[in-house]
Homo-oligomer: A and B are copies of this chain.
Amino acid sequence: MTIFKAIMDKTLLPFFNPKGIVLVGASQNPNKLGFGLAQNLIRSGFPGAVQFVNPKGGTLFGHEIHSNVASTPDPVDLGILLIPAEFVAESLVACGKRGIHAAIIASGGFRETGEQGAELERSCLKIAQEYFIRVIGPNCIGLLDTHLPLDATFLPPPGPTPGDVAFISHSGAICAAVIDWARGQGFGLSRLVSLGNQADVSECDVLEPVAEDPHTQVVTLYLEGISNGRRFVEVAGQVTQEKPIVALKVGRFASSQQAVSSHTGALAGEESAYNAAFQKAGVLRADTSEELFDWARALAWCPPSPGRNVAVLTNAGGPGVTAADAIEANGLHLAQISETTQAELRKLLPAAASLKNPIDMLAGASPEQYAGCLSILLNDSDVDSCLVILPPPPMHSAGSVARSLIPVINLARKPVVVALMGERMIQEAVEFFRAARVPEYRFPERAASALSILAQRADFLAQPKSQPVSIDKNQALVASLLRSQKPGFLPNEVVHQILAAYKIPELKMELAKSPEEAVALAEGMSFPVALKVASEDIVHKSDVGGVLLNLMNPEAVREGFKTIFQNASHAQPDARILGVQVQQMAPAGQEVIAGTVQDQQFGAVLMFGSGGVEVEGLRDVVFSLAPLSEQDAESLLKRSWAGRKLGGYRNIPAVNQSAVLDVLYRVGQLAADHPRLTEIEINPLRVNAQGAVAIDTRIRLS
C-alpha cells in the first residue's frame, strides 16, 4: 500500500487515527444524540483519550464533562461537534485555539435547510480554513473504524461487526441501514465515513485514507454526485490498482437535462459520463443496493477470477439449470469439463450422476462427495471459478456439507461461491460459511452475479495501464481562432480551420453566395456534387430541405442553389443564410457518428456509434472520457454495432478501422484541449477501405 502512503493527504490523518477526541455537545440526557455519540465512543473501546465538553459540566460514563474545549487536557487532535448549528462557529474557533486541526461537524441545520444554513456553513468553513482545521460534515452521522476500534457516530447500537468492507456515504440515513444490512448478510465493516454536506472533505479526499487501512479489502461507495470528476477518476484509478471499489451512484433519473442541440448532446447525459468515468477508473458500478453488497463480499473474500468459465456443482437438476442461465445472463460461461476430470468425478459419484456441467451429484450427495467433487473441479485448468449449489439437502444437513466444503474453498486459488437455497433449513450452513469468509447467497442468480464481478475485476487488473494517444495538432491555432468567435455554432469556415488544425479529414467544401458561384465551384471539383445551406441558425439542415445530393451537372447546381435558398428561408424565415456550401459527393462507405460534449463533472466525453439521422432512435452509441487511450478507443468499437460492423458484415465490406480510431483520438483531444467547445459532432463520418472523412461537422462554442 505504499502507493497510498505516497499520495495521501496528511492533514486527514487525525480523522482515521486520532490520539485524543473532544466531543463537544456530550449529553447526560439519554434521549439526546450527544448521549448516544458519547456512549459509542466509550463502548467501542477507542484506545485513545476521550474528552467530553458541555457548558453544563458534570460527568458521563465516569468521565468528567469539561465546560469548554480550552480546558480539555492533552492529547486532543480530533473534535466532534454535535451542538446546535448556531454554536458551531464558536466551537470551531475554540478547537482551533486548542490546536485541533480536524473536526467532524455532525450537527445539521446548514446548507441542507436552505440559504440561511448555507451562509452559516460558508462562515464555518471560513473559520476552519483560518485555523487550518479539516472538516468532515456538517450534517453527517460521523465515522467509525471497527479495528482501531472507534465508533464516532450517533447511531443506536449495535455497531457493525468488524470486517473488511469499507463504506463511504453521501447519505447518513443509508449508513444505519448498511450497518444493519451487513449484519443480515453476514459481513463486517472496516471503516465507515458519513460525509454529510462535504463543506470541506469530499469522497475524493477520503478514498485513499479509507483504502489504505490494511483491514479494508474492498471500498464501497454510496454517491449522490462527485465533487471533482477528473480528480475522482485519478484518485479512484490509483486505489483500484490495489483494492476494488464498488459504487452505487444514485440520482440517475433526477439529472436535469440541459438544453442540447446535437445528437451527442441529447444522448450524452450525466449518466453516460459517470459510466465512462467509472470504467476509466476501474470502479465497478452496482445497479442496486443489494448488488453493491453482494459484490463487496465476493470481492473482499475471493481472489479475482482468472477467466469466465464456471463449473456448477449441484445435487439437483432444477437449481443447476437456474444457475446455468444466470451464468450466461451475467456474461460468464459454463466450463467444458475435461474427460480426465469427468473420469475422476465418476469415481466419486453414482452412475446416474451427470458429469457434464452443471455437475449433478443427485439428491443423495454426501458432504464428502461435495468436497471431493469441488476439489476435482478446481484442479481442472479449464475451470476458472465454481458455483456450488446447496438446496436443503434431503439426506444430509446443509451444515455438515458446509463443514466439509470449507477447507477445500479456503485452500482454493480460484473463486468459489455458494448458493444456499432456502432460509431456516440452511441457517447452520450460513453461519459456517460466513465465519469462514465464503460468500453465500440465497439465490443462484445472485451467486452468479458475484462470480461475474470477480471476472470483471480480473479483466481490469489484467488490462495494460492506458495513456491517452498523443496526436500531432496545432492547439495554439485553435485557441487563437476561438478567441475571436462568439458563442453558438461556429461558422463553417472556422470549423474547417479547426478540423485542419487537428488533422481531421473532411470532404472538400466551399461556400457559394450565388447560383453562378456555386456552378463555378462545382466545376472546380468533380460532378456529382452536393449543396447544403450555410447558416449558423439552421442546425438540422436536411430537416428544412436544405440539402441536395447527387447533382450531376451545372444546371442542376444552379437550380439547386435556388431551391435550397427558398426551402430554408421558408422553413426558418429569421435564419441568417450566408449562402450554400458546395461539396464533393462523398465516397460510398459506412456511416458512423463521432461527437463530444463537455460534462460538468468529468469534462470532455466522446460518443461513438451508428451515424445518420436515426442516431437517437437506434441508440447504438457508446461513451468514453476524452482524450482516449488505445484501450478506450478499441473498447468503443467493440461495444457498438457500428464499431463491430467496421470489420465487415455480410455484403457490407470491411473498412479502414484505424482511420476511424485516428479520428476518434483527434476529436477527443480537440474537445479535451478546448473546454469551450461544448459540443462537437461529426455526423456522418463516412468510412471506406481507404479512409474516413467527415461529411458534416458542427461545433458549438460556449
Contacts and interface: CB of A to CB of B under 8 A. Distances in A.
A543 B317 CA distance: 44
A587 to B, nearest CB: 18
Interface stretch (A63-71, A437-445, A473-481): A437-445
Q: How many copies does the complex hold?
A: 2
B173 A319 contact: yes
Contact of A173 (B248, B253, B318, B620): B318
Interface stretch (A53-61, A325-333, A338-346): A325-333
B651 A253 contact: no
Given A423-B180, A613-B650, A321 B289 contact: no
Interface in A643-663: 644-645, 649-652
B326 A446 contact: no
Nearest to A186: B423
Interface string A585-621: 0000000000000000000000000100110011110
A142 to B, nearest CB: 13
B177 A421 contact: yes
A641 interface: yes
A690 interface: no
A393 to B, nearest CB: 9
A107 interface: no
A566 interface: no
Interface string A151-179: 00011101000000000011111101101
Nearest to A184: B423
Interface string A33-53: 100000000000000000000
A392 B180 contact: yes
Contacts of A391: 173-174, 176-177
Residue with the greatest number of chain B CB neighbours at <10 A, chosen from A184, A185, A613: A184
A313 to B, nearest CB: 14
Interface string A217-239: 00000101000000000000000
A183 interface: yes
A442 B254 CA distance: 23
Given A391-B173, A424-B183, A650 B321 contact: no
A650 B545 CA distance: 11
A250 B322 contact: yes
A104 to B, nearest CB: 17
A156 B392 contact: yes
B181 A421 contact: yes
A258 interface: no
A573 interface: no
A462 interface: no
A181 B179 CA distance: 23
A540 interface: yes
A423 B184 CA distance: 5
Contacts of A617: 641, 644-645, 649
B250 A422 contact: no
A101 to B, nearest CB: 29
Contact of A318 (B170, B319, B363, B619): B170
A281 interface: no
A250 B289 contact: no
A30 interface: no
A366 to B, nearest CB: 14
B176 A392 contact: yes
A316 B172 contact: yes
A321 B174 CA distance: 11
A228 B112 CA distance: 60
B176 A394 contact: yes
A113 interface: yes
Given A253-B329, A326-B288, A443-B288, A422 B177 contact: yes
A183 B325 contact: no
A425 interface: yes
B290 A445 contact: yes
Contact of A324 (B254, B424, B446): B254
A167 to B, nearest CB: 12
B113 A352 contact: yes
Contacts of A540: 650-651
Interface in A384-426: 391-392, 394, 421-426
Contacts of A112: 317, 352
Contacts of A290: 442-443, 445-446
B250 A325 contact: yes
Interface string A166-206: 00011111101101110111000000000000000000000
Interface in A99-125: 112-114
A321 B224 contact: yes
A678 interface: no
A329 B252 contact: yes
A174 B253 contact: no
Interface in A248-285: 248, 250-254
Contacts of A240: none
A392 B620 CA distance: 43
Residue with the greatest number of chain B CB neighbours at <10 A, chosen from A183, A446, A651: A651
Contacts of A644: 617
Interface in A367-397: 391-392, 394
Interface in A1-36: 33
A315 interface: yes
A497 interface: no
Interface of A: 33, 112-114, 154-156, 158, 169-174, 176-177, 179-181, 183-185, 222, 224, 248, 250-254, 287-290, 315-319, 321-322, 324-326, 328-329, 352, 363, 391-392, 394, 421-426, 442-446, 540, 542-543, 610, 613-614, 617-620, 641, 644-645, 649-652
Given A176-B425, A222-B318, A253-B324, 12 more contacts: A33-B394, A113-B352, A170-B318, A172-B316, A173-B315, A174-B316, A174-B319, A176-B394, A183-B424, A184-B442, A288-B446, A290-B443
5 contacts: A171-B318, A176-B422, A177-B391, A250-B321, A542-B650
Q: Which 7 A-B pairs have the closest CB atoms?
A: A171-B318, A184-B423, A173-B316, A180-B422, A177-B421, A253-B328, A288-B445
